[in-house]
């Protein structure tokens, strides 16, 4: 399984962009293209439907060695076989999410990963202090993935990297066309959603993005 510390490109299987019948194909293309982490996001779906979908996607990510993260529902992590969960600012404490995602049993399995969405440097610092394994930082640009959420811009990217040592995945409106600009601003890891999911060739778009990020970041970053 790929390590979070080595991850550079975080993909999201966002069911707002993907037809349910295409979920496995799209998930496989994202993995084939080289995403280092894959999140399953199905806003508005009930838990049973998300669980069933996650159980279809998990064999694909497991075969690719890609950690699978469940959005919003940490309690589904064990039944899906995912490696962790991602929560927002209003989704309670990180420790509660980790408890619901399933603690390690006598050291036999890793603790589930818990990521937190953050929208300011202050929130990012707080997420690290409460034990998040990684953060999403954004949205950098306006994005239909987060309607109504104001963009925070690029000015704080370097500052947040100075203050936060856990992996920081910059997110929100990032596309191949502005990826260099985001990296120039100090980003080391990125999340790309619609630009990958809406590409005519998802795997090729992933490879192009990953090549840019990998060439601009160092292994120890």
Active site residues: 41, 117, 146
Alpha carbon 110 to its chain centroid, in Å, reads 18
Tokens of 79: 């039944």
Write the CA distances from 35 to 76, 143, 154, 218, integer angstroms.
22, 20, 23, 17
Question: In whole angstroms, what separates CA 82 from the centre of its chain?
Answer: 13
SS3 135: strand
CB atoms within 10 A of CB 103: 10
Place of tokens 């202050």: 122
Report the C-alpha gap between 6 and 27 in whole angstroms: 20
């Amino acid at each position: 399984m790929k390590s979070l510390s080595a991850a550079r490109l975080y993909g999201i299987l966002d069911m707002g962009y993907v037809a349910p019948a295409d979920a496995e194909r799209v998930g496989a293309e994202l993995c084939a293209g080289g995403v280092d982490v894959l999140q399953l996001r199905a806003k508005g779906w009930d838990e049973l439907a998300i669980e069933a979908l996650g159980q279809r996607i998990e064999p694909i990510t497991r075969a690719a060695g890609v950690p699978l993260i469940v959005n919003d529902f940490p309690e589904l992590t064990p039944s899906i076989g995912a490696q962790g969960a991602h929560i927002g600012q209003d989704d309670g404490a990180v420790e509660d999410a980790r408890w619901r995602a399933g603690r390690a049993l006598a050291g036999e399995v890793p603790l589930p990963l818990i990521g937190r969405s953050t929208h300011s440097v202050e929130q990012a610092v707080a997420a690290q202090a409460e034990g998040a394994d990684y953060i999403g930082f954004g949205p950098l640009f306006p994005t239909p993935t987060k309607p109504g959420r104001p963009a925070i811009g690029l000015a704080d990217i370097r500052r947040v990297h100075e203050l936060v040592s856990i992996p920081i995945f910059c997110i929100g409106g990032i596309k191949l066309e502005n990826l260099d600009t985001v990296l120039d601003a100090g980003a080391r890891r990125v999340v790309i959603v619609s630009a990958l999911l809406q590409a005519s060739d998802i795997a090729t778009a992933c490879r192009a993005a990953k090549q840019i990020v990998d060439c601009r970041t160092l292994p120890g970053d």
